[in-house]
Amino acid sequence: MNAAQAACALSSDAPQWHQINWRHCERDVRRLQARIVKATREGRHGRAKALQWLLTHSFAGRALAVKRVTENAGKETSGIDGAVWRSPEAKTRAIGSLRRRGYQPQPLRRVYIPKANRKWRPLGIPTMHDRAMQALYLLALDPIAETTADHHSYGFRPMRSTADAIEQAFKLLSRKSAPAWVLEGDIVSCFDTISHAWLLDHIPTDTTILRGWLTAGYVERRTWFATDEGTPQGGVISPVLANMTLDGLERALQRAFPRKDLGRGRGKYNSKVNLVRYADDFIITGASREVLEYEVRPLVERFLSVRGLKLSSEKTRISHIDEGFAFLGQHLRKYHGKLLVTPSRRNVHAFLEKVRTIIRVNKAASQAELIYTLNRVLLGWVMYHRHIVATRTFRKIDHVLWHRLWRWARRRHQDKTADWVLHRYWHPVDGRRWRFAADVGDRTPEGRVEWLPLVCANKTAIRRHLKIRAKANPYDPSWRPYFHGRRSATRHSRRRPHPPSPPS
């Protein structure tokens, strides 16, 4: 028995799942991932492939894969077989079932989810067994993806977020000598149109397993449909496959538009071409509209066409920084030479519509239930925008909420006076004279009322986001002190309020 098996050994008793030493499993997987990073950086691709085989066949890797798919938000969502792994015994059996030999992926269950433009996005849901296999091979593929990724790609990557992408865009565009033109790029159905041939030729993973996932097809209304292109949205490994497909665009732009003049006839001097990408949404800066229109855009189109992708003619546009542009739900624009980042109008409108809908469908709910439902939505939206110039927008959100909640309260007590309704639902809480809050029935040791207040957006402190370093790799041991210090700094300087507990 090797070290990984000894550390994570199971007995033959029924509660085997609870006997796994998860700390040892994570340590063993991290060691293999660090060795994969080292081999990839040194160009020893055969060595990296051998280490990937060790990881995907290790007990620690298989156990962590099952743990991931049975403890995430989709753990109760089944594929076409209707199976979910709830009991410890089922999870233990699942660990032993993750074998390459004889593995045949099953078709995905096709569902549709609404998009922001009122259209529907197809989503393919794999079976639990296929999800666990994807999670297992993702453990071995992600270290390579992080080592070879574009430096300014921030979507679907560990330790990176939309705030990092926005901060990078701010750094590029805020200086006086910054580029004045921006190409807003959007790819048509990125996940659904990626070339299978390109993926099989360029993704460093087991091609037999990958081909099975790509060609498994999907089932809709009891009918099987083949998949000749694309990687299914909803798969555990799909975001990394899409990222690796788009990686290399930044390097292609750097070769075509180097920052320094490479000599006569070589390169474009002072073109100010830079890329910031989040998944399939990206922006490219440029010194002029002509550079972006006639040089950058054709290069991007050629890069994408090799991979079976193309730019959206509707959403791809070139804008001047003084006119502004929307990126990841936020609006970047220069006012008299000063760059401001604010929540975009479309994002604010969609959020207010969501809040109004929540209040409308909870006409008969108690005040505590309504507050808890609103707080979950409010807190997430406010924390997303707290790193930018959002105080004015937060004030507007509170103003709109007050009027909607006032109508909600007056409708419930049409025979009462306005003063009675005000004192019934608004109370002095946390230093504010009037705050929409519910008495949850608990009392402090001093006998004071325990209130469940509505989150106040305007009281959220605006804090500048500390962008992650471009070359930071969470799988590289040399970067661990950096990530440890970053977590400590974030924990002490940026306190995130927790949503109140649901009413009993």
Asked if residue 491 has pLDDT above 80, the reply is: no
**pLDDT of 442:** 62
Angle at the Cα of 27 from the Cα atoms of 24 and 31, rounded to 5 degrees? 140
- State mean pLDDT over 40-64: 96
Query: Which stretch of 6-20, 217-231, 333-347 has the lowest confidence by average pLDDT?
Result: 6-20
Residue 260 has pLDDT above 70, yes or no: no
Bridging pattern class, strands 108-114 and 218-220: parallel
Which residue's entry shows tokens 């989810």?
113
Residues 37-46 pLDDT 10s: 999 999 999 9
Higher-confidence position of 463 and 15: 463
**Paired residues of 219 in beta bridges:** 109, 224
With a CB cutoff of 8 Å and minimum separation 6, the contacts of 449 are 439, 443
431 Ramachandran zone, left/alpha/beta (phi>0; psi -120 to 50):
left
Q: Are 256 and 247 in contact (CB under 8 A)?
A: no
- Band of residue 198 on the pLDDT scale cut at 50, 70, 90: very high
CA angle 321, 322, 325 (to 5 degrees): 50
What single-letter DSSP state applies at residue 311?
B
Helices (H), 98-187: 128-148, 162-173
Mean pLDDT of 462-478: 94
Question: Taking residues 139-151, what's their average pLDDT?
Answer: 97
In angstroms, rounded to a whole number, what is the distance separating the alpha carbons of residues 52 and 56? 6
Residue 157 clears pLDDT 60, i.e. is over it: yes
Per DSSP, the residues of 344-409 read -HHHHHHHHHHHHHHHHHTTTS-HHHHHHHHHHHHHHHHHHHTTSS-HHHHHHHHHHHHHHHHHHH
State yes or no: pLDDT of 232 exceeds 90. Answer: no
- How many CB atoms are located within 10 Å of the residue 60 CB? 27
- Could you report the per-residue pLDDT of 335-365, keeping only the tens digit for each? 999 999 999 999 999 999 999 999 999 999 9
* DSSP bridge partners of 332: 325, 341
Q: What is the pLDDT of residues 368-402, one digit of tens each?
A: 999 999 999 999 999 999 999 999 999 999 999 99
Residue 430 banded pLDDT, cuts 50, 70, 90 = confident
Residue-level pLDDT at 443? 60
Q: Are 231 and 194 in contact (CB under 8 A)?
A: yes
Using the predicted structure, report yes or no on whether residue 15 has a pLDDT greater than 70.
no
pLDDT band at 81 (very low <50, low <70, confident <90, very high): very high
Convert the pLDDT of each residue in 299-339 to its tens digit. 999 999 999 999 988 889 999 999 999 999 999 999 999 99
> How many other C-beta atoms lie within 10 A of the C-beta of residue 197?
11
Mean pLDDT, rounded, for 458-487: 93
Asked if residue 79 has pLDDT above 80, the reply is yes
Cβ pair 193, 308 in contact under 8 A: yes
Q: What percent of the chain has pLDDT over 90?
A: 78
Say which residue the tokens 């661990």 belong to. 480
Decide which of 6 and 97 is more confident.
97
| Residue 403 region by backbone torsions, left for phi larger than 0, else alpha for psi between -120 and 50, else beta | alpha
State the pLDDT at residue 120.
Answer: 82
Amino acid in the structure at residue 447: G
Q: Which of 82-96, 385-399, 422-436 has the lowest mean pLDDT?
A: 422-436
Percent of the chain, pLDDT > 70? Answer: 90
Residue whose structure tokens are 């990626």: 194
Distance CA 289, CA 137 (A): 43
Can you give the length of the chain in residues? Answer: 504
Give the dihedral sign, CA 77/79/81/84. negative
Task: Please name which of 137, 63, 139 lies closest in space to residue 94, comparing C-alpha atoms.
Answer: 63
| Mean pLDDT estimate for the chain | 89
User: So what's the pLDDT on residue 119?
Assistant: 77
pLDDT reading at 446 higher than 80: no
Residue 44 to residues 23, 39, 101: CA-CA distances in angstroms? 29, 5, 26
The count of C-alpha atoms lying within 13 angstroms of the C-alpha of 353, restricted to the half-sphere facing its C-beta, is: 7
Tell me if 192 sits within 8 A of 490, measured CB to CB: no
Provide the pLDDT for residue 490.
66
The torsion of the CA quartet 57, 58, 62, 63, rounded to 10 degrees, works out to 170
Indicate left, alpha or beta for 29 from its phi (over 0: left) and psi (-120 to 50: alpha). Answer: alpha
CA 284 to chain CA mean position, Å = 21
Q: Encoding tokens for residue 42?
A: 């040194």
Three-state helix/strand/coil letters over 186-225? EECCHHHHCCHHHHHHHCCCCHHHHHHHHCCCEEECCEEE
Residue whose C-alpha is closest to residue 66's, from 45, 30, 91: 91
Other residues' Cβ atoms within 10 Å of the Cβ of residue 46: 8
Which residue's structure tokens are 């901060």?
167
According to the model, what pLDDT value does residue 16 have?
85
Is pLDDT above 50 for 3? no
Q: Write out pLDDT tens, residues 176-197.
A: 999 999 999 989 888 889 999 9
Report pLDDT for 74.
87
